[in-house]
Structure 1
Amino acid sequence: MSIFSVLIVDDDEKLVKLLKAYFDREDFITYTAEDGLSALQAVKDKSPSVIILDLMLPGMSGWDVCKQVRRDNDTPILMLTARDEESDRLIGLEIGADDYVTKPFSPREVVARVKAILRRVGNSVVNRRILKMDNITIDPERHQVFNGGLPVELTPTEFKLLELLAGNPGKVFTRLQIVEQTQGYMFDGYERTIDTHIKNLRRKLEADPKNPRYLQTVYGIGYKFNGGSNE
């Protein structure tokens, strides 16, 4: 199953919480930002699959955020506007927005429109994304992993597992979730093979596999990827 993440950018706290609740129920990984500068930082740090962007933001406008994002990448953008004026919609689309929704709107409509955008662009939204965490670089499109600039040979299962965890730094996955999202099926005993794959990944990626910096165990739950320093 593909994992999609959404960045919701709006200074209306109640609206953000409402949208987040709907996207969480649809199994999206949800990030939020309340102004333009924090939105740009989140785009850089989180590499979301799609951005929901309000036009009327404090400080930096949604238009400026959209233009800045478009200078660096082609992440799909769904714009939110409080005014149903054709000029606003046209400007938004001209500077790079993929779609728009006029306030007030149904959260279900926003979710549906985001899903439609992702269907149009396909899984390449996720697959094109190059993940970089400290010394680790993952290129999903080329199916390559580098550690300190040196190539690392991984099995297909190891690659999927690493891409899942590293693509969601800090998020804890149970063994069952890892199996379902990397294999799409289950059979008796397969959950425990995840431990073996993690052990192999640590051997290939960690300076000290017994004291892992990246692939960390969350005891009693599962595993997570730590992109920062080991404490």
Structure 2
Amino acid sequence: MIGATILVVDDEPAIHRFLTPALEANGFLALRADTATQGLALVASRRPAVVVLDLGLPDMDGAEVIRRLRAFTDVPIIVLSARDRESAKIEALDLGADDFVAKPFGVGELMARIRAAIRHQMQAKGETPVLKLGAIEIDIPRHRVTRSGVEVKLTPKEFDLLSMLVRHSGKVVTHRHILNQVWGAPHEHDTPYLRVYIGQLRAKLEADPANPALILTEPGVGYRAGEASEPEKMPPA
């Protein structure tokens, strides 16, 4: 993970002035692109570990950039954008982005998302029979979940839901995708049903279900598995 190349595709010079030293301070190699065309070329030639992508680029909409990237690479894409519409987030994630961070953002949060994206990519290359999330261990073959070594009884659907979220640890997973994968296409719009199951998992797994740290909500979009941080916000450019 240390020394991994992170490509930032953004047309705002202030973002690069802010992120380049932050990435280097966290042990990454920063690569800069000011346009979508430059970004696509650098992904093909330099093969970065993660792409941090702004949606509002001067030469191409970010959604089209994601489409083109997904035509030839599975590099993790973290969308970094001032667009706060839920529809924009959902479109980016459904097109293949791995995560979405809204401007203004906290540098600590973004670095954590980058590290999580790299870990997830590494895990995806070699499926493991035991998944981990904090003190939670999920033994896939045995259908067994423990918290700090103590077994937690889950229903089959709770187990499937938890496993699905942890397999995508560090990524935002949309409501529709979760419902489709765990319950099937006929249920992909049953968001209230999903909320009930998320509440049940939090009650069984979280130290403080009212303030979850393991199963996090992305309002209006979906859920993510992973630790949350709330660092100081960067002011708007």
- With normalisation by structure 2, the TM-score equals 0.50
* 1:2–1:123 Cα contact (<8 Å) kept: no
**Take 2:120 and 2:20, find their aligned partners in 1: how far apart are those partners?**
22
Higher CA-based Rg: 1
Q: Does 1:72 align with 2:75?
A: no
Give the length in aligned residue pairs: 125
Q: How does 1:26-175 map to 2 (within 5 A)?
A: 26-122=26-122
Tell me which residue corresponds to 2:21: 21
* 2:2–2:28 Cα contact (<8 Å) kept: no
Tell me which residue corresponds to 2:10: 10
Structure with more contact order per residue of length (Cα contacts < 8 Å, sep ≥ 6): 2
- With normalisation by structure 1, the TM-score equals 0.52
CA deviation profile, 1:65-96 (whole Å, cap 9, x unmatched): 11101000100000012122110000000101
DSSP 3-state at the match of 1:32:
strand
CA deviation profile, 1:151-186 (whole Å, cap 9, x unmatched): xxxxxxxxxxxxxxxxxxxxxxxxxxxxxxxxxxxx
Q: Shift of residue 55 of structure 1? A: 0.2
Tell me which residue corresponds to 2:181: none
Q: Shift of residue 2 of structure 1? A: 5.1
**Take 1:74 and 1:8, find their aligned partners in 2: how far apart are those partners?**
16
**Take 2:5 and 2:107, find their aligned partners in 1: how far apart are those partners?**
16
DSSP 3-state at the match of 2:71:
helix
Q: Shift of residue 9 of structure 1? A: 0.5
Structure 1 alignment gaps of length 5 or more: 126-231
Q: Shift of residue 123 of structure 1? A: 6.6
* 1:22–1:108 Cα contact (<8 Å) kept: no
Give the root-mean-square deviation of aligned CA atoms.
1.6
Task: Could you list the structure 1 runs, at least 4 aligned residues long, displaced by more than 4 angstroms after superposition.
Answer: none
* 1:56–1:62 Cα contact (<8 Å) kept: yes
Structure 2 alignment gaps of length 5 or more: 126-237
